Homo-oligomer: A and B are copies of this chain.
Amino acid sequence: MFNEYLFFEALSDETRRRLLLLIMKQGELCVCELFFALNLPQPKISRHLAVIREAGILATRKEGTWVFYRLHPQLPLWAAKILEMMAQGIEHGNIYHQDAKRLGAMENRPSKCDI
């Protein structure tokens, strides 16, 4: 069940907030897209995603070698609202804009493939 301690811990790191904002904006993203957008070492992305996932905030879906992350469907309402408010409050920061921009410039995105 959902653990408030892990939830707030997950939000306390900027890299994790960057990941969350992108995922929330796009609905679902695979690791390589997040990796490309944030322009950080892949193991770092992977580890931070694991922290968010283990907090119950993200769910995953596998498709071949890709792993897609999305908001967890059973996320408590109050937690979902906090994430919404967080996005609203911070999305105007430069870092988040740059992430979105890089993602937009990415070619051959798995999300956009028709399989």
Contacts and interface: CB of A to CB of B under 8 A. Distances in A.
Interface residues of A, number: 19
Oligomer: number of copies: 2
A81 B4 CA distance: 17
A88 interface: yes
A41 interface: no
Nearest to A7: B89
A79 B82 CA distance: 9
A98 to B, nearest CB: 16
Interface in A56-110: 76, 78-79, 81-82, 85-86, 88-90, 93
Nearest to A78: B89
A88 B4 CA distance: 12
A64 to B, nearest CB: 35
Given A82-B86, A85-B85, A8 B4 contact: no
Interface in A7-46: 8-9, 11-12, 14, 17
Q: What are the 4 closest A-B residue pairs judged by CB atoms, nearest first? A: A78-B89, A12-B12, A81-B85, A8-B11
